[in-house]
Structure 1
Amino acid sequence: MGNRHISRDVKIAAINLYDQGHLTLKQILDCVGFSQRTFYRVLKLWRTTGDVIRAKRRCTGRYRLLHYDDVDYLIRLVQHQPDWFLDELLGLLKHNRFISVHYTTIHRELERAGMSTKNLTVIAIERNEPSISHGLYP
């Protein structure tokens, strides 16, 4: 029949009817409208966990390689020296924090932290404004 949502109440009702022996399994499955395999899967879940719905995982996906302190360190480095390249940040992270990641990971984490190339350009321009006003550039 395919994947479809079966409400929690229907699953519990089917298990209660089965456990109390009011109806046969075939009659129960005809009433609730799901397969015998689904019924036994729900029954097993009920008996092992006490619920008919699997608990959702709190966190999905891969674990982050850089923790909050590492990203904070990178942000401070970029604010101090905004014209560093990602490979230079990679080297500093490897030597000072003992963390080896790919430079795209550093780029992604800086983007997640709100740093963009536009922000870095603004920081670099702000750092160079006094030298422009002193006539150091032709």
Structure 2
Amino acid sequence: MPFRKISRDVKLAAIKLYENDLLHLPDILNCCGFSERTWYRILNLWRTTGDVVGHRKRSTGRVRLLAHDDVQYLLRLVRQNPDYFLDELLHLLKTNRFISIHFT
């Protein structure tokens, strides 16, 4: 079978049908339309994590040093005094927010 996304609801329904002995496994696989390998992968995920969808902890891009509040703080500083140089902004971040970053 080609790759296709199986919705979380279908996976949960198949798990419930199997756990409550409402249908035999071949009938569940036939009705839901996924392979036996996919079924056992879903069942293993359900038994280990309690969910049928694998949540990936994958971040994309560069790690951000500044939180949203810190960026808002910088924006307020620049709006209040547009003549600040980068080294002055860095010093204010370091003394007021305890964040040490480099301007490059």
Shorter-chain TM-score tier: 0.5 to 0.7
> How many residue pairs get matched?
99
The one-letter code of the counterpart of 1:41 is R
Whether 1:65 aligns to 2:66 is: yes
Kindly, what percent of the aligned residue pairs are identical?
60
Whether 1:34 aligns to 2:34 is: yes
With over 3 angstroms needed to count, the CA separation of the structure-2 counterparts of 1:38 and 1:81, relative to structure 1, is same
Shift of 1:27: 4.6
The structure that is helix-richer by fraction is: 1
With over 3 angstroms needed to count, the CA separation of the structure-2 counterparts of 1:96 and 1:22, relative to structure 1, is closer
With over 3 angstroms needed to count, the CA separation of the structure-2 counterparts of 1:29 and 1:82, relative to structure 1, is same
Q: Give the TM-score of the pair, scaled to structure 2.
A: 0.57
Q: CA RMSD in A?
A: 3.5
With over 3 angstroms needed to count, the CA separation of the structure-2 counterparts of 1:96 and 1:17, relative to structure 1, is closer
The one-letter code of the counterpart of 2:52 is V
For residue 77 of structure 2, what is the aligned residue in structure 1?
Answer: 77
Which structure 1 residue ranges, 5 or more long, are not aligned? 105-138
Q: Deviations over 1:56-87 (max 9, x none)?
A: 98xx765652452x445434432443112223
Q: Deviations over 1:68-107 (max 9, x none)?
A: 2x44543443244311222321133224443112326xxx
With over 3 angstroms needed to count, the CA separation of the structure-2 counterparts of 1:82 and 1:9, relative to structure 1, is closer
For residue 47 of structure 2, what is the aligned residue in structure 1?
Answer: 47
Bigger radius of gyration among the two: 1
Shift of 1:16: 3.9
C-alpha separation in 2, matches of 1:73 and 1:28: 56
Q: Deviations over 1:32-54 (max 9, x none)?
A: 22122321222123334544345
Q: Give the TM-score of the pair, scaled to structure 1.
A: 0.48
With over 3 angstroms needed to count, the CA separation of the structure-2 counterparts of 1:36 and 1:63, relative to structure 1, is farther
